Chain A
Amino acid sequence: DTVLTQSPALAVSLGQRVTISCRASKSVSTYMHWYQQKSGQQPKLLIYGASNLESGVPSRFSGSGSGTDFTLTIDPVEADDIANYYCQQNNELPYTFGAGTKLELK
């Protein structure tokens, strides 16, 4: 299985630029997607195909990477962005998720 590794948590200040990383145990090409999950809510797709912004998602979110190293950038961070962020690969079955990165306020 493809293991996805994310940092458990990041503390940020509002207005700051933040980068959340996801490293895959083997290449997933650009079959990497990013989800935001707020407390008590379902996940919401932000980025698909490593760098494509889902319709309706603010342009302060962006994604990059290919192969094994991927990043989700939020610039600038707003209060509404405080949430958990998950990467997911669908390059091969079983599809796998990272353990999530909790974005917290400093």
Chain B
Amino acid sequence: EVQILETGGGLVKPGGSLRLSCATSGFNFNDYFMNWVRQAPGKGLEWVAQIRNKNYNYATYYAESLEGRVTISRDDSKSSVYLQVSSLRAEDTAIYYCTNGYSWGQGTLVTVSS
């Protein structure tokens, strides 16, 4: 059974930073591109970032709205992917989901507020 679990969300002040983690199991992690997608309260889905696998030299891609403030990384030995987000703004408040494109975790809520 595929399992994806995001952690690391919470309440952070504007300008602060967070590192989100995503632990996975049940599929061959090394074969997959991994993505972060976010959803602001009551809004739709927004793709945030992707990291490709070793065959693609772990290439990374980011949404323009967050470029320069986010870094995606992965640790194949732990079947895990990470998202570092800095200079957080109120509009970054959202549930952040980790997905391999087929399965999604339940998400972790990031709230940016003073």
Q: Which residues of A contact B (CB under 8 A)?
A: 33, 35, 37, 41-45, 48, 54, 86, 88, 90, 93-100
Contact B44 A97 (CB under 8 A): yes
> Can you list 7 A-B pairs with a CB-CB distance of less than 8 A?
A33-B101, A94-B63, A95-B35, A95-B47, A95-B50, A97-B47, A98-B44
A27 to nearest B CB, angstroms?
Answer: 19
B17 to nearest A CB, angstroms?
Answer: 23
Select the residue from A43, A88, A100 with max chain B CB neighbours within 10 A. A43
- The answer to whether B56 has its CB under 8 Å from any CB of chain A is no
A6 to B35, CA, bound (A): 23
Residues of A within 8 A of B113 (CB): none
Residues of A within 8 A of B35 (CB): 95
Contact A42 B47 (CB under 8 A): no
Q: Which residues of B contact A (CB under 8 A)?
A: 35, 37, 44-47, 50, 61, 63-64, 97, 99, 101-107
Residues of B within 8 A of A96 (CB): 47
- Choice from B46, B97, B102 contacting A54 with Cβ under 8 Å: B102
Contact A44 B61 (CB under 8 A): no
A94-B64 contact given A42-B104, A42-B105, A45-B102, CB 8 Å threshold: yes
- Choice from A35, A42, A93 contacting B61 with Cβ under 8 Å: A93
Contact B104 A100 (CB under 8 A): no
A59 to nearest B CB, angstroms?
Answer: 18
A35 to B101, CA, bound (A): 10
B86 to nearest A CB, angstroms?
Answer: 20
Select the residue from A35, A37, A86, A95 with max chain B CB neighbours within 10 A. A95
B5 to nearest A CB, angstroms?
Answer: 11
A94 to B44, CA, bound (A): 16
B34 to nearest A CB, angstroms?
Answer: 13
A86-B45 contact given A42-B97, A95-B50, CB 8 Å threshold: yes
Contact A45 B103 (CB under 8 A): yes
